[in-house]
A and B are shown apart, each in its own frame.
Chain A
Amino acid sequence: MTIITRRQALITSLAGSGLLLSGCSKIFQADALTESASFQRVLAAAQSWTRATQRFLLAGGQMAQQYKPSDISPYFKPNGTYNPGGADYNRQVAEGFVNWRLQIDGMVAHPLSLSVAELRRLPSRSQITRHDCVEGWSAIGGWTGVPLALLLQAAGLRAGAKYVVFYCADNLDGDPDKGGDQAPGRYYESIGLADATHPQTIIAYDMNGKPLDVAHGAPLRLRVERQLGYKMAKYVHHIQVVSDFSGIEGGHGGYWEDRGYDWYAGI
C-alpha cells in the first residue's frame, strides 16, 4: 500500500485543485474548442434554448422592473459611442436636431418620415428602468418616448414582417464620415416583433426629464427593457421592418452580433 504523508497529501491536493480550478485552457483545450466552428454551433444551441424559454415565460408580456425617481443613477454610464461626430452629425447637433428625420420603411403599408418635433407630439410613455450592460454593470435612468408599437401600427406591418432593424448614425469602427447604412462599422440593431410591440419598447427622446444628450444617443434612441444594453441602439435615424436580416451588414442582426455576441440578449 502506498503511504502518503500528510505533507505530500496537502501538496498533491493543492496542486490538483489549482490545476482543476485554474481552467488551464491549454490542458483542457478550451481555446481550440472555442475556435472550432462545430463546437461553436453546439454552444450556440443554448441561445435558442434561452430564447424559447424566455419567450414562454414572458408570453404574458411581463414588464421590466420600474423604479422611483430617487433610484435614478447619479451618473448614467454612457457606453459604445460617446459622440458620433462627423460633419453631418455635428451640424445636426448645432441645429438642435431640427432637421433630424426618423424614416420608417421596409415591410410596411405606409412608410413614414417623422421629425423629432412630430414624434414629441405623439402619445408618449415615461418609465424609470434599469439598463443592464453585457459587461455586468447597471444604471437606472428615466426615459420618455413614443411606444414603438404605435409607430409600427401607424406604418402598418405587412404580412411576413418578423424583425425591426434600427440604423444608427454612429460608426463604432472609426470614420463617421463614411456615410450610408451599409458602411462598415455603422451601429445597427434588430429585435423581434414580440419585443418591438412590448409597451416598454419606446423610441426615447428624453432622459431624466431632459432631451437626450449626445453621449446617450441624441436625438433618438431605442429602449428594449427586457434585453441587454447593446440592443438599445442610439442615434437612430432609420427603422426598417424585415422578414430576415441575414442580408444586412454581417448578417447577424446587429453590430455586436456581427462580432460574436448573441442576437437574443434577454440573458
Chain B
Amino acid sequence: MPNPVAEAVAETGKPRARPRREVIRRHSWPVRLTHWINALTIFIMVGSGLNIFNAHPRLYWGQAGANFDKPFLALHAWPDWITIPSYTDLADARHWHIFFAWILVANGALYLAWSLGSRHIQRDLWPGVSDLRDIPRSIIDHIKLRHPKGEAAKRYNVLQRLAYLGLLALLIGMVLTGLCMSPGFDAFAPWLVDAFGGRQSARTLHFLFASAIVLFIVVHLIEVVLAGPINELRSMITGRYAVPGEHD
C-alpha cells in the first residue's frame, strides 16, 4: 500500500504539514469587554430611539419646530417590529433609551479612560503620516476586497483607523446632541445647544449621527465576514487572532 505521508517525507525530508498560522493576542480585555457592551447598548439605543422618533417623525433645523413649521426632513414612522418595544409606546421607549444612555456613557468613559491611558488610541487608532499617505492604496484594497496579510494584518489599516475614530466621534456627538434635547441640561449648557444650531437642530443631528452609526455597523459586519468571521469573532471574544499568512 502506498503511504502518501511517507512519500512526502521521503521526497522532502520532512513532513509537508500545512504551516501553522501565527496566533497573536489582538484585542486587550478592556477593548473586548467595552466592545460587546457597546454593541448591545447601541442595538437597544437604535431600537428605542426609533420608537421615540415615531412620536414625531419630522426633523427641523433651528431652536424650535413643530407640525406647522417647515421640516428639514419629514419621514414616515418606522415599522413597529424594528423598534424597542415592538409597539408604539413613548413612555416605555424612553425608559429603555435613557437607562441604556447611562450604560453607553459609563462604558464609553471606561473605554476612553483605558484607551487613552494605555495609549491604545494614540498607538493603534491615530493614523500616522505614512498611514495617511496609504489612503488611496487602502481604498483600492478595500474595493478589491483584498485583506492585509502577515505583518500588515497585525495592525489596523488606515481606513480601519479612520472608521473607528469616526465611530468614536459619532458616539460623542450622539451623547452631546442627546443631552441637548434635555430641557434640564439645556439650562446648564445653553452654549452647547446653540453650538449645534438649536434644540431641533440637535435632534436632527442626533438622527443623522445615528444613521451614520448604523451605516458603520453594516460595513463593519460585512468586513468581519469578508475577513473571516470565525477568526475575527474569536479575536473579539478571546483576544486570540490567527494572522492570515502571506500565501493563504
Q: Which residues of A contact B (CB under 8 A)?
A: 2, 4, 6, 9-10, 12-14, 16-17, 20-26, 28, 30-31, 34, 40, 42-47, 49-50, 54, 57-58, 62-65, 67, 71, 73-77, 130, 132-140, 225-228, 256, 259-262, 265-267
Interface of B is mostly: helix
Q: Give the interface segment out of B29-37, B59-67, B163-171.
A: B59-67
User: What is the minimal beta-carbon distance from A27 to any residue of chain B, in angstroms?
Assistant: 11
Chain B, 7-64, CB within 8 A of any chain A CB = 43-44, 46-48, 50, 52-53, 55-56, 58, 60, 63-64
Q: Are A226 and B193 in contact (CB under 8 A)?
A: no
Q: Does any Cβ of A come within 8 Å of B185's Cβ?
A: yes
Which residues of chain B are within 8 angstroms of A9 by Cβ–Cβ distance?
Answer: 222, 225-226
**Interchain residue pairs with CB less than 8 A apart (10):** A12-B225, A21-B43, A25-B86, A30-B84, A34-B89, A46-B101, A62-B187, A73-B64, A135-B55, A136-B181
Q: Are B184 and A77 in contact (CB under 8 A)?
A: no
Which residues of chain B are within 8 angstroms of A71 by Cβ–Cβ distance?
Answer: 63-64
Q: Are A46 and B99 in contact (CB under 8 A)?
A: yes
CA of A249 to CA of B193, assembled, Å: 36
Residue in B closest to A23 when the chains form the complex, CB atoms: B47
Contact of B200 among A20, A134, A138, A259 (CB under 8 A): A138
CA of A135 to CA of B200, assembled, Å: 12
Q: Does any Cβ of A come within 8 Å of B112's Cβ?
A: no
Contact with A along B75-115 (1 / 0, CB 8 A): 00000011111110111101110110110000000000000
Q: Are A140 and B56 in contact (CB under 8 A)?
A: no
Q: Give the interface segment out of B117-125, B132-140, B148-156, B213-221.
A: B213-221
Q: Are B96 and A30 in contact (CB under 8 A)?
A: yes
CA of A10 to CA of B225, assembled, Å: 8
Q: Does any Cβ of A come within 8 Å of B128's Cβ?
A: no
10 further A-B contacts with Cβ under 8 Å, apart from A9-B226, A17-B218, A137-B200, are A6-B226, A16-B221, A22-B81, A31-B87, A34-B84, A62-B187, A135-B90, A138-B60, A138-B199, A228-B183
Q: Are A136 and B56 in contact (CB under 8 A)?
A: yes
Which residues of chain A are within 8 angstroms of B186 by Cβ–Cβ distance?
Answer: 64-65, 226
CA of A47 to CA of B182, assembled, Å: 13
Known: A67-B63, A266-B182. A30 touches B187 (CB 8 A): no
Q: Which residues of B contact A (CB under 8 A)?
A: 43-44, 46-48, 50, 52-53, 55-56, 58, 60, 63-69, 81-87, 89-92, 94-96, 98-99, 101-102, 145, 181-188, 190, 193, 199-200, 203, 214, 217-218, 221-222, 224-226, 228-230
Which residues of chain A are within 8 angstroms of B193 by Cβ–Cβ distance?
Answer: 65
The winner among A13, A24, A133 for most chain B CB atoms within 10 A is: A13
Q: Are A137 and B95 in contact (CB under 8 A)?
A: no
Which residues of chain A are within 8 angstroms of B43 by Cβ–Cβ distance?
Answer: 20-21, 23, 28
CA of A17 to CA of B220, assembled, Å: 9
Known: A20-B43, A25-B83, A26-B86. A135 touches B221 (CB 8 A): no
Which residues of chain A are within 8 angstroms of B229 by Cβ–Cβ distance?
Answer: 4, 12
Which residues of chain B are within 8 angstroms of A6 by Cβ–Cβ distance?
Answer: 145, 226
Q: Are B185 and A4 in contact (CB under 8 A)?
A: no
Q: Are B86 and A139 in contact (CB under 8 A)?
A: no
CA of A10 to CA of B92, assembled, Å: 35
Known: A58-B188, A132-B181. A23 touches B82 (CB 8 A): yes
The winner among B187, B193, B225, B229 for most chain A CB atoms within 10 A is: B187
Residue in B closest to A50 when the chains form the complex, CB atoms: B98
Q: Are A25 and B85 in contact (CB under 8 A)?
A: yes
Which residues of chain A are within 8 angstroms of B85 by Cβ–Cβ distance?
Answer: 25, 30-31, 34
Q: Are B187 and A65 in contact (CB under 8 A)?
A: yes
Which residues of chain B are within 8 angstroms of A25 by Cβ–Cβ distance?
Answer: 47, 81, 83-86
Residue in A closest to B96 when the chains form the complex, CB atoms: A43
CA of A265 to CA of B90, assembled, Å: 13
Q: Are A73 and B86 in contact (CB under 8 A)?
A: no
Known: A42-B99, A77-B66, A227-B183. A62 touches B222 (CB 8 A): no
Q: Are B222 and A10 in contact (CB under 8 A)?
A: yes
CA of A260 to CA of B88, assembled, Å: 13
Which residues of chain B are within 8 angstroms of A256 by Cβ–Cβ distance?
Answer: 91
Known: A30-B96, A65-B193, A227-B183. A138 touches B65 (CB 8 A): yes
User: What is the minimal beta-carbon distance from B79 to any residue of chain A, in angstroms?
Assistant: 9
Which residues of chain A are within 8 angstroms of B185 by Cβ–Cβ distance?
Answer: 54, 57, 266-267
CA of A74 to CA of B226, assembled, Å: 53
Which residues of chain A are within 8 angstroms of B44 by Cβ–Cβ distance?
Answer: 23, 30
